[in-house]
């Protein structure tokens, strides 16, 4: 057994001051039981906790750390930037540079606004879509998570699914009355909504690869169907690529599947581990944003120079296609190995992967939407999670999240992980 005495003590203290001892619910291990480990530092593919235990990290701060922890280029660039100040509340060259880099990866984005979180990005994107179309209703999918803004807290994924809070108290009915729910991967359910709300839908917002109910790839034709419905009805298609951006393909899901959304929301990777979000799209839409248009949206720390610097360094390195390809190859080796060892141990496992994101459901499968995802055995996931943690592998403390690899995960880390998985699966039967 690992010694976790210091983590346990810190958790006791934290719970007296912070709700659940954490600042974001899924960190609390509520779905898997036990105490969260408190982290002291991260280096490359590894986390070190306050008791001195080391873990190979597949959470990577929930996705942003695509180059691993404390990447030298980022640390150096940030150290220099720090000496010049932390925030100015005035424009910097870095904002334009990061905008240009993002657009090189995602040419469909012609103009972009940086904000400070994914929640802010999605919340602002629907405000803009509503203004652009002069319509109020939006369609979202059960099990998809677009941050915690009121309008999205209906049958959402991530922590909302993990803690089974389908509709959060505190969200006024009026805030969600225009949020219409469809089933992921089910075009008929989308068609029905369009049919019963003619000329009223402002936007369809979707995680083009769902990553907040575990990882669920879109079925063939699903995203194209959304593109066709929205175009035909004058609604906007919003790809929430906060998670999938740079992860399922360097150019995001829109490049991988060849579908151009009207608006894209980003976060995570474009901040290189610092707080960031962004929304962008075609000129004619983005030109509605203040100060050139009437749609108001602002932020004291938006486009923060440190976040921009970390994002610039990250994207510059990601331009080396070999780096990305190696990372994807490693994700594939992991995915295949997990499947193989689960099968050998007789553990029913549906595992999924798109690019550098992967997930696994303890079920016979197939998993294609929230209904089938939630049918998986979460107790078994919890047991697997703890067996892996004990063997030095840090996975998300919930079945309904995604795992990520970074460029710092090499052959050694992959082999150690698969060996830990092999042993862990054997103990589950
Ligand atoms: N989007 C992340 C979860 N899937 C955010 C992590 C959090 O909620 O803390």
SS (H, E, C) 245-276: ECCCECCHHHHHHCCCCCEEEEEHHHHCCCCC
Sign of CA dihedral 144, 150, 153, 159: positive
pLDDT tens digits along 150-188: 999 988 777 777 766 667 888 888 888 999 999 999 999
How many domains does the structure of the chain reveal?
A: 2
Given this model, what pLDDT does residue 166 score? 66
Is there a single domain that holds both residue 26 and residue 39?
A: yes
Q: 118 alpha carbon to ligand 1 midpoint, in Å?
A: 9
pLDDT tens digits along 280-324: 999 999 999 999 999 999 999 999 999 999 999 999 999 998 999
Q: Which atom of ligand 1 is nearest to the CA of 212?
A: 4
CA distance 305 to 90: 10
Give me Rg for the CA atoms of the chain: 21
Residue 212 CB less than 6 A away from ligand 1: yes
CA distance 373 to 420: 24
Bridge pairing between strands 277-281 and 263-267: antiparallel
Hey, which residues are catalytic here? Answer: 145, 240, 268
Residue 26 CB less than 6 A away from ligand 1: yes
Is there a single domain that holds both residue 234 and residue 294?
A: yes
Mean pLDDT across the chain: 96
Is there a single domain that holds both residue 117 and residue 254?
A: yes
pLDDT exceeds cutoff 70 at 396: yes
Q: Which atom of ligand 1 is nearest to the CA of 211?
A: 4
Q: Helices (H), strands (E): how many in the chain?
A: 15, 14
Q: 121 alpha carbon to ligand 1 midpoint, in Å?
A: 14
Is 351 in contact with 403 (CB distance < 8 Å)? Answer: no
Q: Which atom of ligand 1 is nearest to the CA of 158?
A: 4
Q: At what angle do helices 93-105 and 305-318 cross, to 10 degrees?
A: 30
Residue 159 CB less than 6 A away from ligand 1: yes
Atom 5 of ligand 1, nearest CA residue: 62
What 3-state DSSP class applies to 347? Answer: coil
Atom 2 of ligand 1, nearest CA residue: 62
CATH code of 107's domain: 3.40.640.10
Q: At what angle do helices 411-428 and 321-345 cross, to 10 degrees?
A: 20
Provide the domain limits for residue 289.
Answer: 72-318
Q: Pseudo-torsion of CA 258, 103, 243, 93, nearest 10°?
A: 180
The residue among 283, 318, 353 that closes a domain is 318
Q: Which atom of ligand 1 is nearest to the CA of 148?
A: 8
Is 216 in contact with 352 (CB distance < 8 Å)? Answer: yes
pLDDT exceeds cutoff 90 at 106: yes
- Best residue among 31, 62, 241, 359 to mutate for probing ligand 1's pocket (most ligand atoms within 8 Å of CB) is 62
- Best residue among 159, 162, 245, 398 to mutate for probing ligand 1's pocket (most ligand atoms within 8 Å of CB) is 159
Is there a single domain that holds both residue 357 and residue 274?
A: no
Q: Which two structure tokens, joined as six digits, stand for 75?
A: 């640390």
Atom 9 of ligand 1, nearest CA residue: 24
Q: Which atom of ligand 1 is nearest to the CA of 24?
A: 9
CA distance 249 to 253: 6
Question: How many CA atoms are closer than 13 Å to the CA of 297, on its beta-carbon side?
Answer: 25
Atom 6 of ligand 1, nearest CA residue: 62
pLDDT tens digits along 5-45: 999 999 999 999 999 999 999 999 999 999 999 999 999 99
Q: 243 alpha carbon to ligand 1 midpoint, in Å?
A: 9
Q: Which of 365, 346, 352 is nearest to 428 (CA)?
A: 346
Mean pLDDT of 386-397: 98
Q: Which residue has the tokens 């490693």?
A: 330
Residue 411 CB less than 6 A away from ligand 1: no
Is there a single domain that holds both residue 217 and residue 133?
A: yes
Given this model, what pLDDT does residue 230 score? 98
Q: Pseudo-torsion of CA 104, 108, 110, 114, nearest 10°?
A: -80
Is there a single domain that holds both residue 348 and residue 410?
A: yes
pTM for the whole thing?
Answer: 0.97
Is there a single domain that holds both residue 287 and residue 357?
A: no
The residue among 267, 283, 318 that closes a domain is 318
The residue among 275, 300, 318 that closes a domain is 318
């Amino acid at each position: 057994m690992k010694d976790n005495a210091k983590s346990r003590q810190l958790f006791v203290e934290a719970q007296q001051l912070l709700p659940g001892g954490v600042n974001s619910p899924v960190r609390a291990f509520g779905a898997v039981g036990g105490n969260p480990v408190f982290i002291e530092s991260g280096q490359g593919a590894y986390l070190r906790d306050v008791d001195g235990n080391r873990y190979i990290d597949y959470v990577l701060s929930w996705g942003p750390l695509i180059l691993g922890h404390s990447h030298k280029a980022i640390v150096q660039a940030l150290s220099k930037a720090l000496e010049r100040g932390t925030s100015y509340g005035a424009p910097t060259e870095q904002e334009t540079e990061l905008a240009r880099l993002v657009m090189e990866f995602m040419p469909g984005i012609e103009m972009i606004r940086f904000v400070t979180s994914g929640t802010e990005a999605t919340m602002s994107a629907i405000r803009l879509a509503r203004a652009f179309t002069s319509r109020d209703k939006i369609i979202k999918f059960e099990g998809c998570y677009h941050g915690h803004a009121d309008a999205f807290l209906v049958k959402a994924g991530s922590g909302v699914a993990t803690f089974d809070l389908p509709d959060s108290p505190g969200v006024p009915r009026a805030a969600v009355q225009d949020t219409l729910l469809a089933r992921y991967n089910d075009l008929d359910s989308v068609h029905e909504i369009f049919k019963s709300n003619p000329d009223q839908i402002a936007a369809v917002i979707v995680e083009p690869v769902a990553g907040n109910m575990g990882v669920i790839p879109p079925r063939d034709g699903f995203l194209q169907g959304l593109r066709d419905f929205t175009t035909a009805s004058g609604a906007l298609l919003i790809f929430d690529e906060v998670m999938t951006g740079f992860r399922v393909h360097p150019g995001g899901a829109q490049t991988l599947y060849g579908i151009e959304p009207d608006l894209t929301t980003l976060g995570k990777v474009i901040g290189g581990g610092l707080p960031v979000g962004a929304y962008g799209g075609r000129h004619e839409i983005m030109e509605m944003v203040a100060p050139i248009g009437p749609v108001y949206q602002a932020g004291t720390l938006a486009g923060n120079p440190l976040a921009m610097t970390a994002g610039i360094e990250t994207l510059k390195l990601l331009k080396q296609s070999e780096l990305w390809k190696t990372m994807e190859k490693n994700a594939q080796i992991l995915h295949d190995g997990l499947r193989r060892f689960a099968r050998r141990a007789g553990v029913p496992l549906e595992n999924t992967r798109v690019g550098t994101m992967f997930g696994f459901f303890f079920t016979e499968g197939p998993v294609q939407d929230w209904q089938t995802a939630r049918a998986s055995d979460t107790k078994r996931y919890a047991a697997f999670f703890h067996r892996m943690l004990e063997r030095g592998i840090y996975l998300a403390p919930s079945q309904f999240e995604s795992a990520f690899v970074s460029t710092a995960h090499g052959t050694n880390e992959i082999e150690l992980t698969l060996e830990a998985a092999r042993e862990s699966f054997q103990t589950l039967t």
